[in-house]
Amino acid sequence: MKLTTLSRALFSLVVLMSCISIPKVVAAPEGRDGIILDAMHKELDRSFDKLKKAGEAPVYYLGYRVYDIDSLYISAEYGALTRNVEPDHDRVLNVDLRVGSEKVDNTHRTRDSDVFSSIRGSGSSKQFVPLEDNELALRQAIWLETDDAFKQAQQQFARVQANKEVNVTEEDSSDDFSKETAQKFSSENKKFEVDQEKWKALVKRLSAIYKDYPDLYDSSVVFTAKLTRRYLINNEGTEIADSRTDFRLYTMAQARADDGMDLWLYDDVSAVKLDELPSEEKLTALIKGVAENLVKLRTAPKATPYVGPAILRNRAAGVFFHEVFGHRMEGHRQKDEKEGRTFTKQMNQKVMPEFISVLDDPTTDVMGGIHLNGFYEYDDEGVPAQKVTLVDKGTLKSYLMSRSPVEGFPKSNGHGRCDPRNNPVSRMGNLMIKSEKSVPYDQLHQMLLDELKKQNKAYGLIFDDIAGGYTMTSARAAQVYSLQPLIVTKVFADGRPDELVRGVKIVGTPLTALEKIICAADDDGTFNGICGAESGSVPVSASSPSLLVGAIEVELKEKRSDKPPILPPPLHDKNEVKK
């Protein structure tokens, strides 16, 4: 999983007033919104009325989600376009249908299923639906998908009942679904307006910068733009129509060291408005920074396996917490007996130093002048986004909850999330690490040197950035994580100059890593990215100060045996035969 694969997922429950207030009254939608919502409502009313009395297991919950998506993708290499997809338009329907009751329904995990097969066979269905605003065509598609979802749900519910007859009682007997207050919300229907020619020209100019770096054998610059209009209704009375815009420019470059080790660096910027993206001057500096760091990495010495003190710079610390801790706080993992459930039995116990608190707050849209990628107002189950304190002064307090209850947490806290082609599970939004013990970064650096002498270590490591990684949460696998750092510096206890190194992965187990945090700096930074897990890829952020950790373990990354390219790039071949 990615931040969980470039991904790049805790606890007193904080209930926002929006969750308990009277649903907002909105004007009847017009135009496209009106046609789409009318089609959805008519089919929902018709289907629920009939199916709540049909089959061996009648329907008790029915919800529809329609995602109307406009997107643009432009990429270039060495000053030439490699892909220019004209603005694309998709419309995706997702049917969430549940039979049985809130106590036990067709989504209940059986012992012979994994989470992916459970989601696929749970009575949910998704497909592309007509792009034109034609009510009859939309209703036809919704009708067929609802019928398919109902049949799947009948089969799955029969398996659930049979499974309960032949297996021992589950440790967590929580309900399968929570009742939540109906919500009414509608936001501005935005327009998808992007000057394609302007961005094609800029992407080409930025990609041409790599021409000046002959030691890099591959590179690219990509610009993406997306507008998603989401429509969500259910038989409980919820109706949501909202929009999200995402603009992103990213670059990746590759090189190969003389010993065959492949190296790559990545950087990106994102915004919800085009005019919030950096100027061309700043984007040029970003590209050059990637290129120059990669050139240095190519000739840097190879690292060796190591366990000892290290500093995780702010963005790197955010990714570290996302992978090591955040995914283990997702609610659905706490009652799944196929999960490792690292922290399930540690509620109200100390899990990290007392000066550290962790929260997830998708209601915050900007921090330190940076737009947070994990901001949203309502999750994909129609529940208002809520700030959740996961760890309070080192003590575990809560989980990230969707509408799938776990023991001690019967309600959602607005973290049921998914992409358009999947069903919601509990996911991170804006993960934030707070420290009551902080010093200026220079002092934290000196504390690293002091810790090296204390532990009699010749050197320590500083991780400037982490691209992402993965974490193992299944009970069938070791409870470990593996992270891919981008820039790693070796710091010597005897005062020798710092040294850039290459070829390491951060590895370890979560409980050990979190207990070893010594201090934080006063330099909060934010990583914005995309996290992939069971419910697809969702936008997230992770904010943290730099952290001094008493022990970080690294191992060598895999290495190819291929040599670097035999010939230089055409542009830099001084011996090229001229014709």
Q: What is the spatial distance between Cα 225 and Cα 276, in angstroms, rounded to a whole number?
A: 13
Q: Averaging pLDDT over each range in 97-111, 117-131, 343-357, 377-391, which range is the top one?
A: 377-391
Asked whether residue 122 carries a pLDDT value surpassing 60, the answer given is: no
Q: What is the spatial distance between Cα 95 and Cα 92, in angstroms, rounded to a whole number?
A: 10
Q: What is the largest CA-CA distance in the chain?
A: 81
pLDDT higher at 178 or 127: 178
Token pair recorded at residue 97: 């249908």
pLDDT higher at 173 or 212: 212
User: In the block, which residue shows the tokens 């850039």?
Assistant: 500
The model's pTM is 0.87
The pLDDT score that the predictor gives to residue 485 is: 87
The pLDDT score that the predictor gives to residue 476 is: 52
Is residue 96 very low, low, confident or very high in pLDDT (cuts 50, 70, 90)? Answer: very high
Paired sense of beta strands 459-471 and 306-312, if any: parallel
Question: What are the two backbone dihedrals, phi and then psi, of residue 445, each rounded to the nearest 5 degrees?
Answer: -60, -45
Q: What is the spatial distance between Cα 153 and Cα 155, in angstroms, rounded to a whole number?
A: 5
The pLDDT score that the predictor gives to residue 250 is: 95
| Structural element, H or E, at residue 149 | helix 135-166
Average pLDDT across the chain, whole number = 87
H-state helical runs in 52-134: 115-120
Token pair recorded at residue 314: 């702010």
- Bridge partner residues of 23 (DSSP): none
Q: Would you tell me how many other CB atoms lie within 10 Å of the CB of residue 269?
A: 17
Q: Is the Cβ–Cβ distance between 490 and 499 less than 8 Å? A: yes
Is residue 230 very low, low, confident or very high in pLDDT (cuts 50, 70, 90)? Answer: very high
The pLDDT score that the predictor gives to residue 123 is: 55
The pLDDT score that the predictor gives to residue 470 is: 57
Q: What would the pLDDT profile of 559-579 be if each residue is shown by its tens digit?
A: 666 677 777 788 777 766 555
Is residue 258 very low, low, confident or very high in pLDDT (cuts 50, 70, 90)? Answer: confident
Question: What are the two backbone dihedrals, phi and then psi, of residue 387, each rounded to the nearest 5 degrees?
Answer: -75, 130
The pLDDT score that the predictor gives to residue 173 is: 83
Burial of residue 534 (CB within 10 Å: 0-12, 13-18, 19+) is buried
Q: What would the pLDDT profile of 243-252 be if each residue is shown by its tens digit?
A: 999 999 999 9
Q: 167 to each of 43, 129, 171, 431, how far by Cα in Å?
A: 38, 40, 12, 37
Q: 528 to each of 463, 505, 569, how far by Cα in Å?
A: 17, 21, 34
Token pair recorded at residue 457: 């270590």
H-state helical runs in 325-464: 441-454
The pLDDT score that the predictor gives to residue 365 is: 95
Q: 201-224 burial by CB neighbour count: b if 16+ within 10 A, else e?
A: ebbbbbbbbbeebebbeebbbbbb
The pLDDT score that the predictor gives to residue 573 is: 73
User: In the block, which residue shows the tokens 């909105």?
Assistant: 26
Q: What is the spatial distance between Cα 89 and Cα 227, in angstroms, rounded to a whole number?
A: 10
Over residues 83-99, mean pLDDT: 90
342-348's contacts with Cβ under 8 Å and 24+ in sequence apart are: 342/473, 342/479, 342/510, 342/511, 343/396, 346/396, 347/11, 347/396, 347/397, 347/408, 348/395, 348/396, 348/397
Q: What would the pLDDT profile of 375-404 be if each residue is shown by its tens digit?
A: 999 999 999 999 999 999 999 999 999 999
Q: Is the Cβ–Cβ distance between 156 and 164 less than 8 Å? A: no
Q: Is the Cβ–Cβ distance between 184 and 27 less than 8 Å? A: no
Q: 331 to each of 60, 386, 417, 429, 547, how far by Cα in Å?
A: 23, 15, 12, 14, 27
The pLDDT score that the predictor gives to residue 484 is: 81
Q: Would you tell me how many other CB atoms lie within 10 Å of the CB of residue 100?
A: 24
The pLDDT score that the predictor gives to residue 471 is: 59
| Structural element, H or E, at residue 68 | strand 59-77
The pLDDT score that the predictor gives to residue 560 is: 65
Token pair recorded at residue 399: 């989980």
H-state helical runs in 192-326: 196-208, 280-299, 314-324
Q: What would the pLDDT profile of 454-493 be if each residue is shown by its tens digit?
A: 999 999 999 998 876 655 555 455 546 678 888 999 999 9
Contacts of 110 (CB under 8 A, 6+ apart): 118, 159, 160, 163
pLDDT higher at 245 or 10: 245
User: In the block, which residue shows the tokens 């707050």?
Assistant: 361
Q: Is the Cβ–Cβ distance between 45 and 35 less than 8 Å? A: no
The pLDDT score that the predictor gives to residue 14 is: 29
Token pair recorded at residue 392: 């309070």
Is residue 322 very low, low, confident or very high in pLDDT (cuts 50, 70, 90)? Answer: very high
Is residue 342 very low, low, confident or very high in pLDDT (cuts 50, 70, 90)? Answer: confident
The dihedral sign for the CA sequence 348, 350, 354, 359: negative
